[in-house]
Structure 1
Amino acid sequence: MQKHLMLPALVLCGFYEPVAAQAREMEHVLVTTPLHKSEAQTALPVTVISGEQLREQATSNLGETLGSMPGLANASFGPSVGQPVIRGQQGARVTVLQNGTGSGDASNSSADHAVSVEPVLAQSIEVLRGPATLLYGGGAIGGVINVIDGRIPEKPPEQFSGALELRHGSVNDENTAVLKLEGGGEQLAFHLSGVARSSNAMEIPGHAAAQPDEHELANKGFIANSDSELDSYTLGGSYSFEQGFVGLAVSRTSNEYGLPPGAHGHHEEHGEHDDHDEHEHDEHEEEAETEAIRLDIEQTRYDLRGAWLPHHSSAEHVLESLRWALSYSDYAHDEIEVDTETGSKAVGTHFSNEAWEGRIELVHREIAGWHGAVGLQLQQSDFSALGEEAFIPETEISRYGLFIVEDYHYGDVVYELGARVDSDRYKPQSVDEQRFTSWSLSSSALWQLDDNWQLGLALSSSERAPVTEELYSNTGASLGDYITHAASGVIELGNEQLDTEQANNAELSLSYQNDAIEGFITAYYNDFSDYIYLANTGAEQDETAIFAYRQQDASFTGLEFELSFALGAALGGDFDLSFFGDTIRGELNNSADVPRMPPRRLGSRLDFSTGPFGAYVALIDAAKQSRPGDFEEATPGYTRWDAGASYRFNEGGAQEYLVFVKLKNLSDEEIRSSVSFLRESAPEAGRSVELGLRVNF
């Protein structure tokens, strides 16, 4: 009972009048929006993490890095996979960008595929929701996440600089080394970065399975086959001229990790069966016990980008900037079946995605009071899953998008309008070609009520074409011939008759900021027509669960808030207090619950700083998710405590050292994430201590 008392106590403390106002950090200038506004200058829903906050929150995957922020969650598939969830949406509805273009991996094709971007190398991460997503495709109905790592410098740095960071985590013996070097001359600049990481099986409280049978009792205190090894390196450079720059970067990533046994293990048969069924049942259990699935990922990525920034002194020149980017990604991974008794390996499925993306944005100066940008986005990819267990046909995918965004200032109000049209073409082998045209519109207004208060309203209508796995998984097969996706351990059925999905969103936000207090509260409603979702049908083939992509209307209602206070000086230092909360309800038009929704959460955090020393303690209290969806299991609530401390040496000198420690899940709580497909077989990490050293020079 005592562990639950901190939250209301901190909330009450939040209304204490601050004894000393503290200056807020400089406002972050948005990179993902072409008009380069700060968060406070747009009504578009934007979340930014950068600087010390990013250094502290960055982990081995993107979902975990962002998962504790309002409206965001982590869809884990074991410790090596963390896909971000935005307002209950994941997979194809969340677009992950790397410096403005797509990640080029296969993360949106299945929950077990890792996102191929590294949060520990990021300079900042920007999350766009609602109307802002039309800049990068109507398909990003849930949101857009742009990971910005500066691999192509836009101008030469003033001096050579670098950083080296070493981390060790106790929960899985994870060792991480990060290196970044940046420098250049008068017109040339370079960027070099890399990360190497290895880990063993992850420790957990209790059993891996929520309801372990006799064969799963041995998996107590750890998740089997959850080790990993990753190496990622990037080299980039640029040439700057008087009115712009042009640059090139190349990166290489190798990532090999195991999937928890529950992802591909036995699904218990319900009901009576005869001795013959019992014999087959036991053989299936024995086979599942000795099989492990591992993913071996290789990706090479090339980025070419530039900008023309004309210096016009005359207002008759309307062009403000012209930016362009071209990326090519060669991605492949093998899903390897390992016999744990003999050590023999066999490739069950080979996934590949060869993807091109081009993007151009033209920003114009003010015309009749309107300032904005027009842009064109082109994407071409060849996606395939080959092998005996391939359940998706090889498919050529072409996407074309044209967009425009404009803003208009009138008194204390900023109006923003946007529109986009997308054309998607799919050419699968042995299946007829399909084409989809999608339209998206957005509008928003931001009222500056006074020096401290802002009121924002955003309305949008977005359309999304179904993606490859939703259309073509197990196309043409019938019961008895369905192919199991070995990594996820279920049969996934696509539907070629799926139509375009449409979402109409309304969002109202109120924010406040002064020298000592800042915060916001946002309410939103998202009404879907022909919502596409992966449903547990309750049926089985050879004791393997069958999931099917279905389509019907749905609605989502949610609330998010965050409030921070500078409490002032005491005990020789400064205290800051913050707390947040979020809740979302997803309901299909037949009154059924949308599966895998995040639970209601409340959280609070207390920070203390004095000179080079800083410390914090944080709490997240999550409610039980009692609306899991048809044939899905409810997840219990949990209370998670985290804490940390850091100390800087030689602050401001030529070399600066930072030593830090993070204490995660202090109470060793058993946490099963309601947004995860593996919540019944792979809980989140147990108690962990992470030690780190960072050197800036």
Structure 2
Amino acid sequence: MKRTLIAALVGAASQAMAQVPESRVEHVLVTMPIHKKAAETALPVTVVTGEELRRLAASTLGETLGDKPGISNSSFGPGVGRPVIRGQAGPRTINLNNGIAAADVSSLSPDHAVSIEAMLAESIEVLRGPATMLYGGGAIGGVINTRDNRIPTDRIDGIQGAVEYRYDDAPEMNTGVLKLEGGAGDFAFHVSGTFRDFEDVSIPGLAIDEEAVEMQEELLGGEHDEDHEEEELENSDGFIANTNGDSDVFTLGGSYHFGEKNYVGLAYNSFETNYGIPPGAHGHEEHEGEEHEGEDHEEEEEEEEIIRIDLKQERYDTQLHLHDVVPGLIDTVRGFLTYTDYEHVELEGAEIGTQFSRETYEGRLELVREGDNHGVLGLQWRADEFEAVGEEAYVPKTDSSEWGVFYVQDFHTQDWQFEVGGRAEYVERDPATGFEEDFTSFSLSGSGLYNINSDWSLGASLSRAERAPSTEELFSNLNNSAEEFVTHAATGIIEVGDPNLDTEVSLNADLSLTYMSERAFAEITFFYNTFNDYIFLLNTGSEVDETPVYVYEQDDANFYGLEVESSFELATVAGGAVSLGVFGDMITGEFDSAGDVPRLPPMRVGSELSWRSDSLGVYLKVLNASDQDNPGDFETETDGYTRWDAGIDYSMQFAGNTELFAFLKLKNITDEEIRLSTSFLRNFAPQAGESVEAGVRLMF
């Protein structure tokens, strides 16, 4: 079955005849300091911008990008959606905001939100595969860079902006967006913000898959106690309890421009959110009462001990861009300095259970040489102080510092484009409990893009990437005796770190074939990654107070997969173009001695049929995900699904640059039960059921 689907997918892509997506041709990759266009690099890149971003933007970064080839969503209820790149998440994927790390604690635990607001983004760039040359060992899986122009990069004459309101009926979510930019002479300013509130999300059927939960307990070595089944598996029908929440984001920035392209700027951002964790997700949580139905569930829920996360982050950014510094040697200097103050508390009813805080300083300097052959020499520094206090604080207070120096150079001939790069990095982890560790790592990469003719190109990239172990991998429960072990509530297990872990090394190869012309786009990418000393959690088979004990171990692992994206124009009807898109991906991951890698996305195949004129567009989209029947040791399998979505949007131009954009989306039309294999919460909280989302945006 898989071979048939893959053959069909590749065949459709190889025959694609379509308009080339604008992002593939015109978009300049700011995430790459040598400023290549997406179509001019052999590196695997995904760009979401313009009209596509307006259509895909959602309440979380994971949901926004989750259907793109090679990218999945790891949800933990509607308040959390973390992107997964080629099966890699947590400390292996870096979320950037305007080129600097988000500096939250989303990599520490799957129930922690990413502190980035996708609704305010002007573009989102994803470097699939290692981006360790540019952004450090934490980018061994990939980089997601969200850009929002909070520090205006160009002069602005007059006032421009946008205001938007949208409503999604599945979580009864109200979202408002405001963006205002302006300037006079050499000064420019930016003001933006969002507000969002939502109720318990509606789903088809029961929230908790009781059969899967029972099987999970058996796999973990526990015994299912039928006498306490009602207490342990209190379920909800038609909605997921305790998934309501709200968020508020505010950004203020400004820049001063001098010379032709030079500028210096400052920005302040406040990110606040409060959201609930679905019942059954936390290992320490117990539930009493009866199944909720209808509107009475909110009052009954208040009588229980519920878990909520109250998060606040404040961030201060400074940027300096200088051009024509030493022409021919240093054409551009880019400097970044960011301070982030993050904290969130986990509320158990009215009581504070655990408080997490992270204070981060990060600086970045790039010296860019332009011309026929581009090059960039860079220096990156980060100082980080992490602390967790409370009953779930299983990671000690830790100070970390990282230094990295990198160089990337490209070369051009008539038909070839080459890029080589390297990075040296020093990382120090200093926990309050002792066992200070430091790591020195080296990464190398090379890629080539061959233009076969004006339409076809062949790209290949090879890299060796190295990552230092994260704080939780090294020090979780380190100085605790077995009687004092603290359970990681989000996963319901005890995690024990190992200060003797070595760096993780990956060897990676990508091969892509691209067809691109005025009326055509198709891209097929094959990748193979082999890891030496891949860090993962191993079930020891032992328990403490009936809680399974896992230890961080290292084993070699191999990942390989396929990604396809294409579209082609079928006909011109009623003044609009009818187009068909085909896309999909698959990934396999195996340890040398520990079986399948857990929580990998299944094989997915999708298609979108659309009609679009200058002002009106309609689409119908289907995505089929296979069963994930290789879930990894001690994990349950996940059923496949077929999700249908449709939408219509209309834009109206007024005098000047004013535009009104309205849209209507029908999501999960068949009310399919969807449980994501990438989610720790898949057995407790499926995705939203059938829903309608509508919105209107005024741009001026």
When normalised by structure 2's length, the TM-score is 0.91
User: Is 2:477 aligned against 1:466?
Assistant: no
Contact 1:22 1:566 in 2 (8 A): no
Equivalent position to 1:534, from 511, 532, 537: 537
Pairs within 5 Å for 1:346-425 = 346-365=351-370, 370-425=373-428
TM-fit CA distance, 1:476: 2.0
TM-fit CA distance, 1:651: 5.2
Contact 2:284 2:489 in 1 (8 A): no
Contact 2:169 2:691 in 1 (8 A): yes
User: Is 2:642 aligned against 1:639?
Assistant: yes
Structure 2 residue aligned with 1:88? 87
Contact 1:7 1:619 in 2 (8 A): no
- Choose 62-71 or 492-501, whichever is displaced more: 492-501
Using the alignment, how far apart are the partners of 2:246 and 2:156 within structure 1?
A: 33
TM-fit CA distance, 1:298: 1.0
Pairs within 5 Å for 1:492-571 = 492-571=495-574
Distance 1:543 1:445, change over 3 A: same
Distance 1:486 1:455, change over 3 A: same
Offset from partner CA, 1:66-90 (integer Å, 9 cap, x none): 0000000001111111111000000
Distance 1:11 1:464, change over 3 A: closer
TM-fit CA distance, 1:129: 2.4
TM-fit CA distance, 1:549: 2.0
Q: Secondary structure at the match of 1:56?
A: helix
Q: Which runs of 5+ in 1 are unaligned?
A: 1-5, 269-286, 339-344
Structure 2 residue aligned with 1:307? 321
Structure 2 residue aligned with 1:296? 310
User: Is 2:449 aligned against 1:452?
Assistant: no
Structure 2 residue aligned with 1:582? 585
Structure 1 residue aligned with 2:346? 335
Question: 1:319 is aligned with what amino acid?
Answer: I
Equivalent position to 1:479, from 463, 475, 482: 482
Q: Secondary structure at the match of 1:628?
A: coil
Using the alignment, how far apart are the partners of 1:203 and 1:474 within structure 2?
A: 37
Equivalent position to 2:330, from 319, 334, 339: 319
TM-fit CA distance, 1:23: 8.7
Equivalent position to 2:625, from 622, 627, 634: 622
Pairs within 5 Å for 1:128-207 = 128-207=127-206
Using the alignment, how far apart are the partners of 1:179 and 1:42 within structure 2?
A: 34
Contact 1:267 1:543 in 2 (8 A): no
Distance 1:672 1:21, change over 3 A: closer
Offset from partner CA, 1:424-453 (integer Å, 9 cap, x none): 001101222110011100000100110000
TM-fit CA distance, 1:670: 0.7
User: Is 2:283 aligned against 1:259?
Assistant: no
Distance 1:587 1:691, change over 3 A: same
Offset from partner CA, 1:223-254 (integer Å, 9 cap, x none): 11111110010000000000510000001111
Structure 2 residue aligned with 1:229? 246
Aligned residues: CA RMSD = 2.5
TM-fit CA distance, 1:16: 8.5
Distance 1:605 1:105, change over 3 A: same
Distance 1:629 1:59, change over 3 A: same
Structure 2 residue aligned with 1:280? none
TM-fit CA distance, 1:494: 1.4
Structure 1 residue aligned with 2:438? 435
Using the alignment, how far apart are the partners of 2:117 and 2:29 within structure 1?
A: 20
Structure 1 residue aligned with 2:221? none
TM-fit CA distance, 1:322: 0.4
Using the alignment, how far apart are the partners of 1:405 and 1:593 within structure 2?
A: 35
Q: Secondary structure at the match of 1:391?
A: coil
Using the alignment, how far apart are the partners of 1:33 and 1:93 within structure 2?
A: 19
Offset from partner CA, 1:376-406 (integer Å, 9 cap, x none): 0000010010123311110000000000000
Question: 1:582 is aligned with what amino acid?
Answer: D
Contact 1:131 1:459 in 2 (8 A): no
Equivalent position to 1:214, from 230, 233, 237: 230
Q: Which runs of 5+ in 2 are unaligned?
A: 212-228, 287-300
TM-fit CA distance, 1:492: 2.0
TM-fit CA distance, 1:536: 4.4
Q: Secondary structure at the match of 2:696?
A: strand
Offset from partner CA, 1:597-624 (integer Å, 9 cap, x none): 1100001001111332111111110000
Contact 1:399 1:423 in 2 (8 A): yes
Question: 1:214 is aligned with what amino acid?
Answer: E
User: Is 2:80 aligned against 1:66?
Assistant: no
Distance 1:140 1:24, change over 3 A: closer
Distance 1:553 1:267, change over 3 A: farther
Contact 1:10 1:604 in 2 (8 A): no
Using the alignment, how far apart are the partners of 1:485 and 1:151 within structure 2?
A: 36
- Report runs of 4+ in structure 1 exceeding 6 Å deviation: 6-18, 20-23
| Percentage of matched positions with identical amino acids | 50
Contact 1:379 1:399 in 2 (8 A): yes
Contact 1:207 1:222 in 2 (8 A): yes
Structure 2 residue aligned with 1:273? none
Using the alignment, how far apart are the partners of 1:23 and 1:467 within structure 2?
A: 38
TM-fit CA distance, 1:653: 4.3
Using the alignment, how far apart are the partners of 1:553 and 1:294 within structure 2?
A: 37
Structure 2 residue aligned with 1:127? 126
TM-fit CA distance, 1:519: 1.2
Instruction: Report the count of equivalent residues.
Output: 664
Question: 2:393 is aligned with what amino acid?
Answer: A
Using the alignment, how far apart are the partners of 1:507 and 1:324 within structure 2?
A: 31
Distance 1:8 1:567, change over 3 A: farther
Using the alignment, how far apart are the partners of 2:10 and 2:642 within structure 1?
A: 16
Using the alignment, how far apart are the partners of 1:232 and 1:441 within structure 2?
A: 38
TM-fit CA distance, 1:130: 2.9
Contact 1:617 1:644 in 2 (8 A): yes
Using the alignment, how far apart are the partners of 2:481 and 2:21 within structure 1?
A: 64
Distance 1:289 1:598, change over 3 A: farther
Using the alignment, how far apart are the partners of 2:426 and 2:356 within structure 1?
A: 25
Question: 2:353 is aligned with what amino acid?
Answer: G
Question: 1:506 is aligned with what amino acid?
Answer: A
TM-fit CA distance, 1:648: 1.5
TM-fit CA distance, 1:412: 0.8
